[in-house]
Structure formats: structure tokens, C-alpha cells
């Protein structure tokens, strides 16, 4: 039941976005094409393109293994459609919020007018300028998800940034002062994060010469088929104190938690699942903790909390340094 209530708003935004932007597109065509026959032809052509892309993406993805590199199909069919779907859905959320804000503002204005004396009329030019400004701001806000989506698809997903962040931990053993941890997260292997791209990031992580490397989940997206490829791509990671990891929500949704843990184990990467491991150094130790998605916490963790634990959880995407 919680899943149904959580999914319903997403479904509303998805369907609403397609209807809303379809209506806006049809309105735009009607204003700019005078001939009725041409208007019908333009709207019909746009609808046909949309339906073709929809069918190709829905039927084409059935039983199709997730590719581990960019294909022509993914570049020309999958990428544009996903960009449209996600951008339009988020943009429609912005539209809904603007509608709500406009309704609240109108309600407040009505209440103020009902309890106060009539103010002097506002100049027409002032109202017109304010209306134009608000319309421009609303248009920019609705367009922002489309611009951000295009940026992420074309550039952002490949724009790797390596950050170095000092992290202070209370009661950290002296032996671990300056201990360097490289963290890679949310790999999501697929056509938009290829196996070759992951190998490049592995080389970069190794060049940082960290003491330990942690992989914090979401190796897959929804399809379990590329799990061998993602493990193979990450198997080149090397660190003196070892390579550890945990599993994320997408690994759970792909129903690949057990198989991923086994494959990583064969590659020398230990996946921590509701467990901890002691990292020894100069007679002292650091307790590294890993949990699966859904915040599973085992009672075995409780005994480690007083001993300077370092938690590894899904969903943190940065390279950190202690």
C-alpha cells in the first residue's frame, strides 16, 4: 500500500505532463499556422512521432539486455525519449507548483481586499510590466528541467570531478589520521555509463593512491544482465587496506544483491551486508560498516559504535579523504 501511494503522484505527474505539454504544443501550432489543414497535419505529425518513439521505447526495451556501451539505438531512440519524459515530468511539477502559488496569492489578495478599504488603482503600465516579468520567470522555471536534462545527458554525465574533503571523526584512532579513502558511488552501468568509462574512473581512483577504496551501491539500474560487466570493470581497483562496498536500492530492484556480492567476492571486493569489518593499523582499528538498501541494521553493529566506526551507506557520490 505505501508503494501505491508513493507511485500515484509520479503517475499523475507523468500523465499530466504529457497531456499538458501536448496541449501547449497544439496551442502553439494553432497560433502560428492559419490553414486548418496544415494545423491538423502538423499536430498529427507531432503526435505520430511521439507515439512512434513511445512504442519503440516500450516494446524495444522488453527482453532487451542493458547494453554496456552506447549504441546507435540508445543514442537516437532511447536518449531523446528519456530526456523528454524525465524533463517534461519535472517541468510539469514546476507548473503545478506555480498553479498552487498563483491560487494562494489570489486567495490572499481576495482576503486583503475584503477586509481593507479599496486601494488606489494601480497604473496599467505597472500591472503590464509585472505580468510580463512573472510570465518570463515562470517560463524560465518551466524550461529549466529541459535545459538541465540536456546538459546532464550531453555533458554532465561525463564531466568527472574528483573532490578531496577532509573529514573529522570524533575518537578516531591516531593511527588513522590522514587515512585516505576513495569513494565511488552510483555507477549505474549502461549505455550512458559504459564499461570503458567505468574503467577510466578506476584508473583515476587508483592514481589517487588511497589507503582504502569503498563502492557505495547502485552498480545496476533495473536490468541485472550487466552485473558481470560492472564487476569486471571495477575489479581493477587496488588499495593497500582493500576494496569494500555495499549495495544500493537499484541493486535490490534488479534482484541482484546476492549475485553481485558473490561476483565482487570472486573479484577480491568484499561487499558488506549488515556487517562490519575491522581495519587494523599499528595496533589500532577502524570499524567499517556496510548495509543494504532499506536501512537494514543488524544488532551486530551496536557493539562497534563506541569504537570509531566509519559507515558505508548507499547514495553518497563523492571521493572522500580522511
For residues 188-214, average pLDDT: 95
pLDDT of residue 5: 55
Does the pLDDT value for residue 320 go beyond 50?
no
pLDDT of residue 318: 33
pLDDT of residue 234: 97
pLDDT of residue 213: 97
Q: What percent of the chain has pLDDT over 70?
A: 85
Q: Write the DSSP string, 175-229.
A: GGTT--EEEE-----BTTB-HHHHHHHHHHHHHT--SEEEEES---SS-STTHHH
144 burial via Cβ count (<10 Å: 0-12, 13-18, 19+):
middle
pLDDT of residue 303: 43
Instruction: Give 174-312's CATH code, choosing from 2.40.110.10, 3.40.980.10, 3.40.50.450, 3.60.21.10.
Output: 3.60.21.10
Could you give the C-alpha distances from 17 to 12, 88, 166, 290, in angstroms and in order?
Answer: 8, 6, 43, 39
Q: List where CATH 3.60.21.10 sits in the chain.
A: 174-312
Q: How many whole angstroms from its chain centre is CA 296?
A: 22
Q: What percent of the chain has pLDDT over 90?
A: 63
For residues 219-226, average pLDDT: 94
Rounded distance between C-alpha atoms, residue 61 and residue 81, angstroms: 12
Strand, helix or coil for residue 320: coil
pLDDT in tens, 143-199: 999 999 999 998 888 888 888 999 888 888 999 999 999 999 999 999 999 999 999
Does the pLDDT value for residue 311 go beyond 80?
no
Do the beta carbons of residue 142 and residue 91 sit within 8 Å? yes
β-strand pairing of 212-216 with 243-246: parallel
Do the beta carbons of residue 277 and residue 291 sit within 8 Å? no
Amino acid at each position: 500500500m505505501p508503494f501505491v501511494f508513493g507511485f500515484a503522484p509520479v503517475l499523475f505527474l507523468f500523465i499530466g505532463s504529457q497531456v499538458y505539454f501536448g496541449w501547449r504544443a497544439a496551442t502553439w501550432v494553432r497560433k502560428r499556422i492559419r490553414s486548418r489543414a496544415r494545423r491538423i497535419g502538423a499536430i498529427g505529425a507531432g503526435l505520430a512521432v511521439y507515439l512512434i518513439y513511445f512504442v519503440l521505447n516500450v516494446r524495444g526495451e522488453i527482453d532487451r539486455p542493458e547494453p554496456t556501451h552506447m549504441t546507435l539505438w540508445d543514442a537516437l531512440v532511447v536518449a531523446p525519449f528519456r530526456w523528454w519524459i524525465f524533463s517534461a515530468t519535472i517541468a510539469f511539477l514546476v507548473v503545478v507548483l506555480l498553479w498552487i502559488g498563483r491560487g494562494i496569492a489570489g486567495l490572499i489578495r481576495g482576503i486583503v481586499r475584503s477586509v481593507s478599504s479599496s486601494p488606489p488603482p494601480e497604473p496599467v503600465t505597472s500591472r503590464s510590466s509585472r505580468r510580463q516579468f512573472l510570465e518570463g520567470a515562470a517560463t524560465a522555471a518551466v524550461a529549466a528541467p529541459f535545459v538541465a536534462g540536456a546538459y546532464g545527458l550531453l555533458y554532465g554525465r561525463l564531466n568527472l570531478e574528483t573532490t578531496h574533503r577532509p573529514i573529522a571523526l570524533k575518537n578516531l584512532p591516531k593511527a588513522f589520521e590522514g587515512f585516505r579513502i576513495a569513494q565511488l558511488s552510483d555507477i549505474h552501468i549502461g549505455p550512458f555509463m559504459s564499461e570503458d568509462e567505468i574503467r577510466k574512473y578506476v584508473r583515476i581512483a587508483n592514481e589517487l593512491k588511497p589507503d582504502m577504496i569503498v563502492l557505495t551501491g547502485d552498480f545496476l539500474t533495473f536490468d541485472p544482465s550487466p552485473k558481470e560487466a560492472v564487476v569486471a570493470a571495477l575489479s581493477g581497483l587496488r588499495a593497500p587496506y582493500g576494496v569494500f562496498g555495499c549495495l544500493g536500492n537499484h541493486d535490490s530492484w534488479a534482484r541482484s544483491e546476492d549475485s553481485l556480492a558473490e561476483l565482487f567476492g570472486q573479484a577480491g571486493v568484499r561487499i558488506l551486508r549488515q556487517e562490519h569489518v575491522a581495519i587494523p593499523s599499528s595496533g589500532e582499528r577502524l570499524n567499517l560498516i556496510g548495509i543494504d538498501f532499506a536501512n537494514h541494521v543488524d544488532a551486530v553493529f551496536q557493539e562497534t559504535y563506541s569504537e570509531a566506526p566509519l559507515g558505508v551507506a548507499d547514495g553518497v557520490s563523492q571521493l572522500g579523504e580522511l
